[in-house]
Structure 1
Amino acid sequence: MSAAGRSLVALLALGVALPAAAGEDGQDWDLRQTGRSRTLIAYTAYNNGIAIAVRCADGGLEAVLAGLPAPRDNADTRLLEIAVRDDDFTPQQWNVAIDRTVALSELPAPFARKIREGGRLQIRVPNASQDGRNVRYDLTLPPSGAAIDQVLTTCGRPLVDVRDAELAALPDTGLPSNVRWLELPRLGLPPSARYGRGFSVISCVTRADGGLRDCVIESDHPYGSGFGDAALRAASRARVAQDTPPGAEFRPVRITFRATFSTGGFESREDRAAAREQRRLERELRENREAD
């Protein structure tokens, strides 16, 4: 099987029905719909084994890279460095799928809007070769004049969103330098959880009283798991402190946070380490409040 074929098989594992090969004629991305699963996917594949897809499945949006070197550890996320057209490389955290050669964007809508113009796409995978060197892919994206827009519209996502620049400017922590947590989001599993593991990424806007407003589910996997709604409930109880210069007017800013869920028996070593770190941070925040 060709490298492009293996990448398309990886997309098939995500529940997408695709033909044996994807076109690279530069006209637009290939578009495929499956009525049974209510899935619409725009995709393109390359002879070096990489396939890129934007899909809407039952209302959930995902941006997918398939055919990557599998990560060496068992973590749920991996660092990829991405450069689109003339941009510099930007480090981004992507989520690792069950097929560990597949990665899912934490911010799929901004990524889809960014790449639909086509042009050069560079992907750098740190420490991915057998000898520990970076692996770099230099691709030419066909412009998508209709296919990606159709997927975005099917999932109820806008074709233009002013929030994209704000989200792109955030550091890995999801918090601007003048914002810190006072009360971390306390996650609870959704009632009757259907999946043992999953994640959600939420964006919110800060309020002057420390609360959060206008919270939005940016990504939710598996879609329909209830993890996104559970993360929204956690955000409604979280609080932040925002440093404002004396005499300056409060200006709300956008933040993001990633919520990882695992039920009993599905926790990984990384999950347990993250839980310990969460407890340490909560203890530190509590001690700081008591000291004040």
Structure 2
Amino acid sequence: MKRALTALTLVLAAGSAVAQDAPPTGEDWDLVKDARKKSTIAYVTTTTGLSIATRCMDSGYSALIFGLPEVTRRTKTRPLQITFRDEEASEWRWNVTTDRAGAVADFPAPFARELRQGGRLQIVVPDGAGEGRNLRYDLELPASGSAIDETLTACDRPLVDPRDQELEAIGEDGLQVGMRWDRQIRPRYPSQSRYLEGFAVTTCVAQPDGTLRDCVIETEHPGDGRFGEAVLKAARDATVAYDGDQPTAPRMMAFRVNFIMQ
């Protein structure tokens, strides 16, 4: 599954370099809590220079990687090919932070639930070793018996979610085979937002009648921009349609909405 979704944009007026990591020591990831910032962070730093973290901050959940090859300031997102243990490789889209060597996951909770198991993690960065040359990180991470769990729990994210398995069936357009938008989601720009742009990545369960239920904001940025709130409100009026026979069971879908004020 390619966890890189085609964005719905809302506008208003090959060589390979290999980095091998030695297994980090310790029984669990490091854990830092800050009651003042309402944050709980689990992190691990590898010998390759990469730092990986999961974080709950003021009810917003995120997964972050720092120490990647820097990208230009115009780059908003970057794909990373990720392989957990002996699973198949998947392409995940990550959002570039103000630190051009950092990135934030579109689907942080599913990523964190994979990380908590520990084991081998391979990350391929397209063009990371120069144009046309991919960079591969080959890491061995410790399992997290409690630290990552604490970040998930702090943001009311389940430790095990069967919906993660359904993500595999979702295409780049955010829909499963045989699905299409009937009434596309059209959120309004948050009137009280002080930001000129932002985004929200959302998963929903599409009912057999085409309505959307159980929508979850997987990640949004900025966290206090109210973009996720705008998407959830608009999702009440959005519907999907099905090609061929109408399904008898709900189906997962996911989509990203980019907000840009012009």
TM-score band, normalised by shorter chain: 0.7 to 0.9
SS in 2 for 1:234: helix
Using the alignment, how far apart are the partners of 2:38 and 2:175 within structure 1? Answer: 35
The answer for unaligned runs of 5 or more in structure 1 is: 1-22, 265-292
Using the alignment, how far apart are the partners of 1:110 and 1:163 within structure 2? Answer: 9
What's 1:280 paired with? none
What's 1:99 paired with? 99
Q: Do residues 208 (structure 1) and 208 (structure 2) align?
A: yes
- Relative contact order (C-alpha < 8 Å, sep 6+): which is higher? 2
Deviates more, 1:195-204 or 1:59-68: 195-204
Using the alignment, how far apart are the partners of 1:186 and 1:156 within structure 2? Answer: 27
The structure with the greater share of residues assigned to strand is 2
SS in 2 for 1:237: coil
Deviation at 1:261, TM superposition (A): 1.4
SS in 2 for 1:153: helix
What's 2:6 paired with? none
1:151-162 to structure 2, matched below 5 A, reads: 151-162=151-162
Deviation at 1:179, TM superposition (A): 0.4
Q: Do residues 128 (structure 1) and 128 (structure 2) align?
A: yes
The structure with the greater share of residues assigned to helix is 1
1:65-104 to structure 2, matched below 5 A, reads: 65-72=65-72, 74-104=74-104
TM-score, normalised by the number of residues in structure 2: 0.86
SS in 1 for 2:236: helix
The percent identity for this pair of structures is 47
SS in 1 for 2:232: helix
CA-based RMSD: 1.8
TM-score, normalised by the number of residues in structure 1: 0.78
What's 1:190 paired with? 190
Amino acid at match of 1:91: E
What's 1:118 paired with? 118
CA contact (8 A) 1:186 1:234 kept: yes
Using the alignment, how far apart are the partners of 2:72 and 2:172 within structure 1? Answer: 21
Amino acid at match of 1:67: G
Q: Deviations over 1:156-210 (max 9, x none)?
A: 1111111110123322221001101122211211121032222111111112332
The answer for unaligned runs of 5 or more in structure 2 is: 1-22
How many pairs align? 240
Q: Do residues 180 (structure 1) and 186 (structure 2) align?
A: no
CA contact (8 A) 1:92 1:172 kept: no
Deviation at 1:229, TM superposition (A): 0.7
Deviates more, 1:112-121 or 1:162-171: 162-171
Deviation at 1:217, TM superposition (A): 1.1
